[in-house]
Structure 1
Amino acid sequence: MSALLEVRQSQQLSTALSVAQQASLKLLQMTSVELMAEADLLVAQNPFLETENAAPEASVRTEEPSCDVPEGDLPEGAPLEGMYSTWGAGAAYEGADPLEGLVAPESVRAALLNDALELDLSEKERSCIRCLVEELDESGLLTVPLNEAAEEYRAVVDASPAEWKRALVALQGLEPAGIAQPSLTEGLVEQVRRRTEAGDVDEPAARLLVTLLREHLGDLARADRKTLLKCAANDAELLEEALGLLRELNPRPIAFDAEATRYVLPDLVVRRANGRWRAFVNPSARPNVRLSDLAHERRAVESTELKPYLEEARRFLQAVDARTNTLLRIAEFLVEHQQAFFDEGPAALRPLRQKDAAEALELSESTVSRTTSGKYLQGPSGTLELKALFSNAVAATSDAPDGDEGLSGARILDEIRALVAAEDPASPLADRDIAEQLTGRGYVVSRRTIAKYREKAGIPSTRLRRRKASE
C-alpha cells in the first residue's frame, strides 16, 4: 500500500471518528424530552430508522456496562436489527409511571406564538417568528445574530433578510417589554422606552437612565455614585429618580428556566433492591427506535445516495447506547454514594464533587457535567436533577463524628437553621458564634462561609434578628 493511500485512509478514519464522537456528545447533553424529539425527527427523515411496535423487555443488568463512545462502523456481520433492542442493558424500572414528573400547561413560548398569530404578518414571517422564539435564551433575550439564525433555519423557512427583520421587529414588539432584545442592556432600554411612551415616567429621568445603561453600565454595577452624579449634571434628585426607575425594571423579560411549564421526564428512577437504593433506567424516557428492514436490502445498503442515511442511523443508535450506559453508570455511583440522602433527606447529603465521580469512573469532568446537567431522577421524595447529588465539602477536624469527610452545603444550611431556631431572640448568635459551635462539634467552618449559607437560606443578619425581637 502506498504512503499516500495510507495517509488518505488515516484522514478518512479520523473524520469518521470525529463524526461519531460529535453525535455521542450531542445526545449526551440532551434532556430526555429533547432526545425523544430528536428520535422522532430522525425516524421521519431517515428511511433506515423506524419505531418499534412494542417496547423492548426490561432486563436486569448483570455486568458493568461500557461507557466508551462507539466509533466508526459496526463490525462485519453485526446484528443490526437487534442493536437498539439491546442498548438498554441497564435495569429498567417496570413500575415507572410515564406521566410522572411531566407538566404540560401552556408555555411562555407557546403564548408568544399565539400572540404572533394576531399580528399582520405573512406566513413566512410567522415561520420566522417560530424559529426566533426557539432561539431565545433562558432570560428571553435573542443573543444569536439575526443573519446566523436565518442561515441556521434556511431549511425550515427560506425567507429574505427583510422578512426576517420584520419578524424580529414584530417579536420585539410583543409583551413583555424587552423580549428578543440582543442584550440585557437593550432589554432594559426597551422597557424604559415603553414606560416613557405610556407616560409612566418623566422623560428627563428616562433619558438619564438610558445614558447610564448604555455608557456607564459598569459604574451602575459598582454603584459609583460620584461618576453617576456627574452624568446627572450633579442633580441628585434626578439621579435618584433614574435609579428608582431602574429598580422597577426586569433584567430578565422571561425566565424560561424558572417556568413551571417546563417538561420534565425523569431519565432514571431510584428504588430499593436487596436493602439498598439503586438507580434504574426509566423505559419511558428512551426512544423506541431501531433499524428498519431496509437495512437488510443489499440494493439499499450499496446505494451511494442512501449510504449517508445508513451511517447516520448507525451513529444515532450507537450514540443512544453510549448515552444510556454513561448516564446509568454515573447515576449508580451517585446513588450508592448518597444512600443516606434517600433515607434521611437533604441534610444527610454527603460531600461529593464532580471531580470525585470523574476520577472514580475514569471519565473526564466535562463528561460528568454534560451527563448530569438537565437529567432527572425520580426518587422516593420526588423528582430532582442528577446534579443535586453533588455537594461541596467543608473540611472537618479529626474529632468529626462518624468519620465524616466534612459538612455538605445542605448539611450546613440544616445546622445553621437549627442553631438559629434554638437561639435566644434577645441575644441572637453572630456568624462567628455559629462557626465556633460547629467547630466545637468537630467541623471547621469559617465565619464567611456561615454568612454565605445564612444569606442563601434567607436568614436575616444578627442585627436584624435582634431588632425584630425587640419590636
Structure 2
Amino acid sequence: MALQTGLKLKLGQKLKLAPQLRQAIALLQLNRLELREHLEQALESNPLLELDAPEAVSEADVEPRDGTDPVDDFADEYRADDRDEYHDERWNDLPEGFSEVAETPDYDRFISDPAQESLAQHLLWQANLAHFSEQDEAIARAIIYALGEDGYLADDLATLRASLAPEYLVSIDEVVAVLGRVQHFEPVGVAARNLRECLLIQVRTLPSETPSRGLAEHLIEHYLDEVGGLEAAALARRTGFGTEEIDGALAVIRRLDPRPGLRYGRDDENYLVPDVYVFPGDDGWQVRLNRDNDPRLRLNDAYVKMIKKALGEDKSYLKERLKEAQWLISSLELRNHTLRSVAEAIVRHQAGFLEHGDIGMQPLLQKEIAERVDVHESTVSRATTGKFMHTPRGTFELKYFFSGAIPTRDGRSVSATAVKARLERLIATEPVGKPLSDQALVERLAADGLLLARRTVAKYREQLGIPNSARRRREARRP
C-alpha cells in the first residue's frame, strides 16, 4: 500500500489570556476578605512588594492614566529592556494615581444593621433570573428548599418528585436536569448529593488550562477516601503517578469548598464591611469605594536597586519577582476601576430605588451593565458577587440590584423587586381578620396594570416569608 503524504491548511481561533489579565480576572472575583488573604500571601512571598504607609486616600479616584483603558496595559508583555533596565516610571509613581479626598463623606450616618442573606434566598434570586419554564422553576424551588445548612441535598430524587405532585407530574430525568443547573449556581457545587459529587462539580468548572485539573478530577472520582488519609508519596505509589504530579493535584483539591453552603450560615457576630459607599451629593448620587479595599502596595526600593548588583540565579529570581509585583499592582488598580465603573452604572440606573426604596427598583440585567461599562457579562458577574454596597436604604450585595422584568398592561415593565414591594404593601394594609387570598392579590395588582399569574404571586409571597391567607387568618384570631 502506497504511503500518501500532503499538507493541510487549517484555520482556527484561539483565545489566549496574558498572565496579567488572568490575574486581574482572578482578583476581581475575590470578595474583600479573600482579597486581603491573597495580598497577605503575596507580601509574604514576594520581597519586592511592601505595604505603603496608610493615608487618607480614596479608591474612587482610581482612573486609567492618559485617558487609556487599563486593560490595554495587559496587551503587551512587560519587557525590562524596552525601558530603563529595572525601573518603569509608571510603577514608581503609582501612589500618585490615588488623589487625596478633600472632604471625606460622613459614612457613619449611613450605617445600618443589614440582615445576612440566607443560602435559600441567594439561590432563589438566581433561579428567578435563570429563565426556567414554570415547571422547571417549581422543581428548582423544591430542590432549594430541600438543602441543608451545608448546601447538600437532604432529600432523594424520588422524594423531590413526589413533593411536586399532583400539581406537577414530573419524571426523575426532569428533576435530574434541573438539579444539574442548580448545582452550577453560585456557590458552585451546592445541591450535591455527596462530597464526591460536590468536589467533581467544582473541579470541572475550573478553566481547562488549570494545571493538574485532570489529575485532581481523577483522584476525586477514584481515590477520594485515600486523598484525605495518605501522604503524597503514598498516594503516588497507590495511583502510579509521580509525587510532583500528585502534589499539584492535591493543591487544586485543597482550593475546593467541601461545604459550599456554610458560607451563608447565620452568625450574629459576623458583620458586613461594604466595598462601595453611595451617598447624596450636589450633583446627584455619589459613589466611593471603601478606602480599605486597596492596601497601596509599592515596590521595595532596596530590592529593586539590588537587582542591578545581583548575578546569576539571584538576578533572575529578583527580576521575576519584580514582574510579578508590577502585575499585581496593576491588577489591583484595574480591579478598583472595574468595580467602581460597575457600581456607578448600577447607581445611575437604580436612582429610583435610592430615593423611594424597593418600590422604585427598575428592571436590570447584568448584560445591560456590561454594555454600558463596555466589559463582558462575566466580568459584571464577578464584580457583583460577594461585593456589598452601603446606601441610605441599607447595605446590599451588588447583585441585589438586578431584577427581571414584569410586563404591565400599557406595554411598560417593572422589576420583580418592585412588584414584591407592592405585594408586601397590599398584605400589610389588608383588613384585620380578612386577609387577601392570592387570587385577590392578583386582582388588586391587575388594577394597577400588573399582569401576574396567581402562581407567581404565591411564589413572591413565599419569598417574602409571608404565609398564605388561611394561616394569616388563624394568626389574626389568636389572642
TM-score (norm 2): 0.58
1:272 maps to which of 272, 280, 286: 280
Alignment of 1:353-372 (within 5 A): 353-372=365-384
Tell me: CA distance 1:412–1:316, structure 2 relative to 1, closer, same or farther (3 Å). Answer: same
Contact 1:35 1:287 in 2 (8 A): no
Deviation at 1:89, TM superposition (A): 6.9
Tell me: CA distance 1:138–1:432, structure 2 relative to 1, closer, same or farther (3 Å). Answer: closer
Name the amino acid aligned to 2:278: V
Deviation at 1:377, TM superposition (A): 1.7
Tell me: CA distance 1:289–1:62, structure 2 relative to 1, closer, same or farther (3 Å). Answer: closer
**Distance (Å, rounded) in 2 between the aligned partners of 1:94 and 1:380:** 16
**Distance (Å, rounded) in 2 between the aligned partners of 1:38 and 1:361:** 26
* Paired residue secondary structure (1:366): helix
Alignment of 1:90-105 (within 5 A): 94-95=104-105
Tell me: CA distance 1:61–1:34, structure 2 relative to 1, closer, same or farther (3 Å). Answer: closer
Contact 1:139 1:256 in 2 (8 A): no
Name the amino acid aligned to 2:327: R
Tell me if 1:281 matches 2:289.
yes
Alignment of 1:186-265 (within 5 A): 255-260=262-267, 261-262=269-270, 264-265=272-273
Tell me: CA distance 1:384–1:470, structure 2 relative to 1, closer, same or farther (3 Å). Answer: closer
Deviation at 1:40, TM superposition (A): 1.9
Q: Figure out how many residues of one structure are paired with residues of the other and give that number.
A: 333
1:295 maps to which of 289, 304, 316: 304
State the partner residue of 1:110.
none
**Distance (Å, rounded) in 2 between the aligned partners of 1:379 and 1:45:** 37
Tell me if 1:418 matches 2:425.
yes
Alignment of 1:58-457 (within 5 A): 58=58, 60=61, 66=69, 68=71, 70-71=73-74, 72-73=77-78, 76=83, 78-82=88-92, 84-86=94-96, 88=98, 94-95=104-105, 143-144=198-199, 161-162=229-230, 255-260=262-267, 261-262=269-270, 264-293=272-301, 294-296=303-305, 297-299=307-309, 303-398=315-410, 405-424=412-431, 428-457=435-464
Deviation at 1:92, TM superposition (A): 9.7
Name the amino acid aligned to 2:104: E
Query: Any idea what the Cα deviations from partners look like across 1:37-70, whole Å, max 9, x if unmatched?
Result: 2222211211211111243744757888836263
* Paired residue secondary structure (1:280): strand
**Distance (Å, rounded) in 2 between the aligned partners of 1:420 and 1:160:** 52
- Which segments of 5 or more consecutive residues in structure 1 lack a partner in the other structure? 1-13, 104-135, 152-158, 165-181, 188-251, 400-404
**Distance (Å, rounded) in 1 between the aligned partners of 2:91 and 2:56:** 13
Query: Any idea what the Cα deviations from partners look like across 1:379-422, whole Å, max 9, x if unmatched?
Result: 224322111122222112327xxxxx533222222211222233
State the partner residue of 2:31.
31
State the partner residue of 2:210.
none
Deviation at 1:300, TM superposition (A): 5.3
1:461 maps to which of 448, 451, 468: 468
TM-score (norm 1): 0.59
* Paired residue secondary structure (1:305): helix
**Distance (Å, rounded) in 1 between the aligned partners of 2:72 and 2:99:** 15
* Paired residue secondary structure (1:306): helix
Deviates more, 1:69-78 or 1:274-283: 69-78
**Distance (Å, rounded) in 2 between the aligned partners of 1:438 and 1:341:** 20
* Paired residue secondary structure (2:389): strand
**Distance (Å, rounded) in 2 between the aligned partners of 1:379 and 1:47:** 39
**Distance (Å, rounded) in 2 between the aligned partners of 1:433 and 1:444:** 13
**Distance (Å, rounded) in 1 between the aligned partners of 2:100 and 2:366:** 22
Name the amino acid aligned to 2:438: D
**Distance (Å, rounded) in 2 between the aligned partners of 1:339 and 1:301:** 59
- Which segments of 5 or more consecutive residues in structure 2 lack a partner in the other structure? 1-14, 115-187, 201-214, 220-226, 233-252
Contact 2:62 2:336 in 1 (8 A): no
Deviation at 1:87, TM superposition (A): 5.0
Name the amino acid aligned to 2:73: P
Contact 1:55 1:288 in 2 (8 A): no
**Distance (Å, rounded) in 1 between the aligned partners of 2:328 and 2:463:** 42
Tell me if 1:52 matches 2:52.
yes
* Paired residue secondary structure (1:363): coil
**Distance (Å, rounded) in 1 between the aligned partners of 2:443 and 2:275:** 42
Query: Any idea what the Cα deviations from partners look like across 1:64-110, whole Å, max 9, x if unmatched?
Result: 88362631227735314435414547979834769x7999xxxxxxx
Query: Any idea what the Cα deviations from partners look like across 1:225-264, whole Å, max 9, x if unmatched?
Result: xxxxxxxxxxxxxxxxxxxxxxxxxxx8973322335463
**Distance (Å, rounded) in 2 between the aligned partners of 1:31 and 1:160:** 28
Tell me: CA distance 1:279–1:424, structure 2 relative to 1, closer, same or farther (3 Å). Answer: same
Query: Any idea what the Cα deviations from partners look like across 1:82-141, whole Å, max 9, x if unmatched?
Result: 35414547979834769x7999xxxxxxxxxxxxxxxxxxxxxxxxxxxxxxxx988998
Tell me: CA distance 1:300–1:432, structure 2 relative to 1, closer, same or farther (3 Å). Answer: farther
Tell me: CA distance 1:379–1:422, structure 2 relative to 1, closer, same or farther (3 Å). Answer: closer
Query: Any idea what the Cα deviations from partners look like across 1:299-354, whole Å, max 9, x if unmatched?
Result: 45992222221221111111111111100000001111112222222222222111
**Distance (Å, rounded) in 2 between the aligned partners of 1:340 and 1:90:** 31
**Distance (Å, rounded) in 1 between the aligned partners of 2:450 and 2:311:** 65
Tell me: CA distance 1:334–1:93, structure 2 relative to 1, closer, same or farther (3 Å). Answer: farther
Contact 2:57 2:101 in 1 (8 A): no
Query: Any idea what the Cα deviations from partners look like across 1:179-207, whole Å, max 9, x if unmatched?
Result: xxx9xxxx9xxxxxxxxxxxxxxxxxxxx
CA RMSD of aligned residues (A): 4.5
Deviation at 1:470, TM superposition (A): 6.6
Contact 2:365 2:403 in 1 (8 A): yes
**Distance (Å, rounded) in 1 between the aligned partners of 2:285 and 2:101:** 13
